[in-house]
Amino acid sequence: MTAGADVVARLTGRAVTGERPLSGGLAEVTLDDGRVVIVKRADDPGAARAEAAGLRWLAGTGTVRVPDVHGHYGNWLVVDRVMEGRPSREAAVRFGRDLAALHAAGAPAFGAPPPGGPADAYIGLAPMRNEPGIDWPGWYAEHRVLPYLRRAVGQGTLRSGEAAVVERLCEQLPQLAGPAEPPARLHGDLWSGNVLWGADGHVRLIDPAAHGGHRETDLAMLRLFGCPHLEQVLDGYQEQAPLAGGWADRVGVHQLFPLLVHAVLFGRSYAEQALAVAREALAR
């Protein structure tokens, strides 16, 4: 039995009858009662702990659906498998309503980690510090944008002169951020790959980087890399909790952090996108 299967047996209390490796450090494991779970190995035990805490924090709202968490042990996380189906307009509207309800469940502060989750968490493969703050523009600049801007400059992905554009945007965030919003309970890494369209017609969310943040951030992430039936998702969201005026003009502001993360991880093309959205926001 592999180490992952051994962890599955430990956390589920069931014997393992089969194991199938998947991509990205995942494996599909069959239990002796016929259930199938997913075991995932993280590079850092803190990442497994953060993901487990995040999934439970989202599930605790009774809004969006996530895979049931069997537990984490060391670098390993075990969750239920999601049986995937095809995206539909009906599921998208329902997901939009559920996402609005999730955000409305709130968080103690901007940057607040889920209960039991570490302050030093991750967004995908990238470190993400959950440091609480009370003012979204200042918190977003200090704890999201500027740390990755410095890393991008330090590794040569962005030039110092270019970084001044992003620094200027950070200075103007109080004017660019729109009306003040209370801290929302965010998935935190809501790109389309983390949105699974279940065979039962309900969306499941995986791989959160959950924290307290601005609700427009999750919506901006959905748009950044494309999401099936996004307009229907937004329709459902607006029915449940209308967004503040001008929200569409602020999408780029909220995309700046994930773009800088991608610039650090994957290179110059994402740095150019980050500069483009910063310049566009400043020109409005």
For residue range 93-150, list pLDDT tens digits in order: 999 999 999 999 999 999 999 999 999 999 998 999 999 999 999 999 999 999 999 9
Cα 76 from Cα 43, distance rounded (Å): 9
Domains parsed from the chain with CATH numbers: 3-80 (3.30.200.20), 89-283 (3.90.1200.10)
With the C-alpha atoms ordered 217, 221, 222, 226, is the resulting torsion angle positive or negative?
positive
Amino acid at 92: A
DSSP bridge pairs for 121:
128
Residue 161 has pLDDT above 70, yes or no: yes
Annotated catalytic residue within 98, 189, 207, 218: 189
Please say if 120 is a catalytic residue. Answer: no
- Dump pLDDT digits (tens) for 170-206: 999 999 999 999 999 999 999 999 999 999 999 999 9
Q: Which residue, 97, 119, 111, is CA-closest to 217?
A: 111
pLDDT digits (tens, 9 = 90+) for 226-274: 999 999 999 999 999 999 999 999 999 999 999 999 999 999 999 999 9
Q: Within a 10 A sphere around the Cβ of 158, how many other Cβ atoms?
A: 26
Average pLDDT, the chain: 96
